[in-house]
């Protein structure tokens, strides 16, 4: 099966860290292995997702220096309307998007994050912003 066109990732802060390792921002076929929801000191909810990709996908790293596997952690800040469905033993990303649904302004949850699994669950939420916390 051919990989569909890559979704726009311009709303994801620090996406360059993913591009540096993988040559592109591509979450297709990544496995979701961890989900974390926390409330910060300002009472805003944050939601983190750990995606795992095989080292062979790391085209931005010399073959001799590649890890067997890489983890990408995304964090969504000031989360609302979080829906999680169907998570099981294996959860593989089949489709995803980061979409501006309202004009960016201070304090609004104007970004929709949607991740659908080809195997396993799906995530849908609104947030103020999305950023890469870790690639490694």
Give the per-residue pLDDT at 77: 94
Give the per-residue pLDDT at 76: 97
Question: What is the C-alpha to C-alpha distance for residues 136 and 67, in angstroms, rounded to an integer?
Answer: 8
List 105's β-bridge partners, or say none. Answer: none
Give the per-residue pLDDT at 5: 86
Give the per-residue pLDDT at 24: 96
Give the per-residue pLDDT at 2: 65
Give the per-residue pLDDT at 93: 96
Question: What is the C-alpha to C-alpha distance for residues 87 and 64, in angstroms, rounded to an integer?
Answer: 35
Q: Is 89 left (phi over 0), alpha (psi -120 to 50) or beta?
A: alpha
Give the per-residue pLDDT at 3: 67
Question: What is the C-alpha to C-alpha distance for residues 130 and 115, in angstroms, rounded to an integer?
Answer: 13
Give the per-residue pLDDT at 40: 78
Q: Within the chain, which residues score under 70 in pLDDT?
A: 1-3, 104-107
Give the per-residue pLDDT at 85: 95
Give the per-residue pLDDT at 108: 80
Would the pTM count as exceeding 0.75?
yes
């Amino acid at each position: 099966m051919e990989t569909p066109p890559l979704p726009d990732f311009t709303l994801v802060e620090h996406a360059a860290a993913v591009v540096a390792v993988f040559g592109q921002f591509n979450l297709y076929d990544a496995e979701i292995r961890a989900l974390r929801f926390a409330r910060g000191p300002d009472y805003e909810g944050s939601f983190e997702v750990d995606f795992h990709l095989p080292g062979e996908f790391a085209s931005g790293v010399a073959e001799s220096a590649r890890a067997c596997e890489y983890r990408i952690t995304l964090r969504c800040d000031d989360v609302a309307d979080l829906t999680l469905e169907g998570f099981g033993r294996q959860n593989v990303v089949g489709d995803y998007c980061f979409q501006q649904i309202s004009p960016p302004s201070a304090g609004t949850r104007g970004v929709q994050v949607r991740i659908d699994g080809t195997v396993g669950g799906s995530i849908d939420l609104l947030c103020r912003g999305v950023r890469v916390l870790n690639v490694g």
